[in-house]
Structure 1
Amino acid sequence: MDLAQRIDNLEQIEAIKKLKYGYWRACDAKDPVGFRASFVRTGADIDYGPLGAFQDADPMTEIFTRIALHKVDGKHVIYDMHHGMHPDITVTGEHTATGRWTLRFRQVNLIDNTETLSTGEYDDEYVIEDGAWKMSKCHCVTTWSITRPLSPDAVITGDFPATHEKAATR
């Protein structure tokens, strides 16, 4: 591989990293539009274990929207934090690539009054669609998890602006 090809390969890998980081940012920001935009228009192979397996991103986006935007007394009740690391991305063709990632996930659930900490492994496939990298396959397997009750003296502060919720209802 010549220098120009190597540079292009590195640029493609960086674009895929940007896609995946944007996906996690959309998850944490309660942004269903950004979440959905991370996947191909049709036919995405998604498997999130207990959340379900789908052959298109729309059903998973509906589940994400229902969970992420759920409110009680005007306040969100589910807070997520996704940290992706250890990317292992291989460009397999001019418009295709594969990737593996490790996920560190934390969730505060104010309905069950619990905090969950877990880690998992992603197995992804990417394609260029309309000039941008999109996920065509996204499988995540939890490797371990711990759920514990929130302390009675836990104080949860902050909430999310309604900007993403408005975009989700358009």
Structure 2
Amino acid sequence: MDIEQRVTALEHIEAIKELKYRYWRACDAKDPQGFRDAFIAKGAEIDYGRLGAFDDIEPMAQIFTQVALHKVDGAHVIFDMHHGMHPEIRLTGEGTATGRWTLRFRQINMLDRTELNSTGEYNDEYVIENGEWKTSKCVFTETWSVTRPLDPGAVISEGAFADVEAAR
């Protein structure tokens, strides 16, 4: 592989990393369109374990929207934090790739007054669609999790969510 091919391969790998980071940022920012945009237009294979398995992004995007944007008395009830790391990206062909990622996940559930901490592995497949890398297959396997009650005195502040929603 010559230097130009190596640089092109590295650019593709970086674009795939940026795609996954945008996806996680959309999850945490309660951004349904950003969540949706990480996947191919039709036919994405998605298996999120306990959240379900789907043969297209739309059913999962609907679940995401219902959960992420759910409010009680004007306040969100679910707060997520996705920290992805340890990417292993392999280009498998012209416009195709696979990826493996480790996820650290934290969720605050104000309805149940619980905190969930978990970790797991993503095994993804990517394709170039309309000139951009998109996820065509996403399988998440949870490694472990712990759920514990929030301290009765815990106060959760929404911070910038109001500004993000107003900008939409």
Question: Is this a same-fold pair by TM over 0.5?
Answer: yes
Q: How many angstroms does 1:164 deviate by? A: 4.4
TM-score by length of 1: 0.95
Q: How many angstroms does 1:157 deviate by? A: 1.3
Deviation beyond 3 Å, 4+ runs, structure 1: 162-167
Q: How many angstroms does 1:10 deviate by? A: 0.4
Q: Tell me which residue corresponds to 2:87.
A: 87
Q: Could you tell which deviates more after superposition, 71-80 or 156-165?
A: 156-165
* Other structure's SS at 1:41 match: coil
* Other structure's SS at 1:154 match: coil
Counterparts of 2:29 and 2:141, CA distance in 1: 22
* Aligned 8 A contact 2:29 2:164 in 1: no
Counterparts of 2:139 and 2:94, CA distance in 1: 23
Question: Are 1:155 and 2:167 an aligned pair?
Answer: no
* Aligned 8 A contact 1:39 1:57 in 2: yes
Instruction: Provide, for residues 106-138 of structure 1, a one-character-per-residue CA deviation record: whole Å limited to 9, x for no partner.
Output: 000000000000001000000000000000000
* Aligned 8 A contact 1:45 1:136 in 2: yes
Counterparts of 2:16 and 2:116, CA distance in 1: 28
* Aligned 8 A contact 2:98 2:126 in 1: yes
Counterparts of 1:69 and 1:165, CA distance in 2: 13
**AA at the equivalent of 1:47:** D
* Other structure's SS at 1:134 match: strand
Counterparts of 1:154 and 1:163, CA distance in 2: 24
Question: Are 1:101 and 2:101 an aligned pair?
Answer: yes
CA RMSD of aligned residues (A): 1.2
* Other structure's SS at 2:153 match: coil
* Other structure's SS at 2:89 match: strand
Q: How many angstroms does 1:153 deviate by? A: 1.0
Counterparts of 1:58 and 1:165, CA distance in 2: 24
Extract unaligned runs of 5+ from structure 2: none
* Aligned 8 A contact 1:28 1:81 in 2: yes
* Aligned 8 A contact 1:69 1:165 in 2: no
Extract unaligned runs of 5+ from structure 1: none
Q: Tell me which residue corresponds to 1:144.
A: 144
Identity %: 66
TM-score by length of 2: 0.96
Question: Are 1:22 and 2:19 an aligned pair?
Answer: no
